[in-house]
Amino acid sequence: MILDKRIPVSYWIGLIKWDMLVITMFSTATLLLSRYISDLKIPIAIGSFMGTAIALLLSFKLSQSYDRWWEARKIWGAIVNDSRTLVSQLKSFTTVNSTEQIKKIAYRQIAWCYSLGEGLRRLNPHEITRSYISSDEFDSLKDQKNIPLALLDNQSSDLARLHQANRLNDFQQIQIDRTLVSLRDSMGKSERIKNTVFPKTYRVTLKLFIYIFLIFLAFSLSRTPEIVDIPLLVVIAFPFFLLEKISLKIQDPFENEPSDIDITNIARTIEINIKQLIGEQKVPDPIEPDRFYVM
């Protein structure tokens, strides 16, 4: 997630460098065409009208993309709350002799948060769970395609065993099971955002319209001096391409990019909170970003 820090110019340039190179080459070609072959003499009002329409489309696209990003952030906010609630419920409901079982479930919940984040980013979720679960459980997960789902299933199994051992009554089991259901719901919502592709036709069409607008504008500006024509077109194109690229980046918040939701950082926060709840002495420090974003 991009932080409230100074964002280097190289990041902005890196997003749209190829688009700016293309428009620079195109504007040069348009200038040569207008000067030495045929000047279309397109009224600048046409370019202005198209620019206004595309700006409205970009605004709508940016709003839709931010809605997806913000929904993902709310989902992971719910994961933070439910993870804390799960451990607090276990501490409050179970008997004194259940300390080891609480610790096992608490550490598995930490593993679940990390593995879900890694899985959403299409990274390997197996190894990150090794430090938080037993070796037997880790070995049992090797053939699983959905590690977070398997971990939640193990949580449910341990909850059932606590209930069978009379360490939880019926009401307490139902309350904790509701928390697990909420965690499954959050996992499903995250997977829905990850697996639902934003309509490519909309993105491609919008970018095509930007280029068409710049084509009209280039011919409209062909009668301006060469020293002004090309830089002016590049400057006008810059915000259009930049906003289009920003909307493209934030529409997919689990792509291991600087604009992602900081799910690794959130998982670290959950780990700190849970370890403090169960009275662990060795608690990791929060992730300190050394750049303008945190993952």
- Whether 291 is in a domain gets the answer no
pLDDT tens, the chain, 295 aa long? 777 777 777 777 787 888 888 877 877 777 777 666 666 666 667 767 777 888 888 888 888 888 999 999 999 999 999 999 999 999 888 766 678 888 999 999 999 999 999 999 888 888 888 889 988 888 888 888 899 999 999 999 999 988 888 888 888 888 999 999 999 999 999 999 999 887 777 777 888 888 888 877 777 766 666 667 777 778 888 888 888 888 888 888 898 888 888 999 999 999 999 999 988 888 888 888 778 777 7
Cβ neighbours for 141, distance < 8 A, ≥ 6 positions apart = 126, 129, 133, 147, 150, 151
Pair 154, 108: CB distance under 8 Å: yes
Note whether 248 and 64 are within 8 A (CB). Answer: no
Does residue 287 lie in a domain region? no
For the segment 120-147, what is each residue's pLDDT rounded down to a tens digit? 988 888 888 888 998 888 888 888 889 9
Provide the domain limits for residue 126.
9-277
**Per-residue pLDDT, 35:** 66
Q: With residue 184 as reference, give the H or E element that holds it.
A: helix 170-195
Report the domain count for the chain. 1
Q: What would the two tokens of residue 194 be?
A: 């990850």
pTM over 0.85: yes
Position 224 scores a pLDDT of 64
Residue 118: inside a domain: yes
Sign, Cα dihedral of 156, 117, 86, 283? positive
Inside any domain, residue 235: yes
Q: How far apart are CA 62 and CA 81, in angstroms?
A: 29
Structural domain includes residue 92: yes
Is 153 among the domain residues? yes
| 224 within domain boundaries | yes
Residue at 290 is within a domain: no
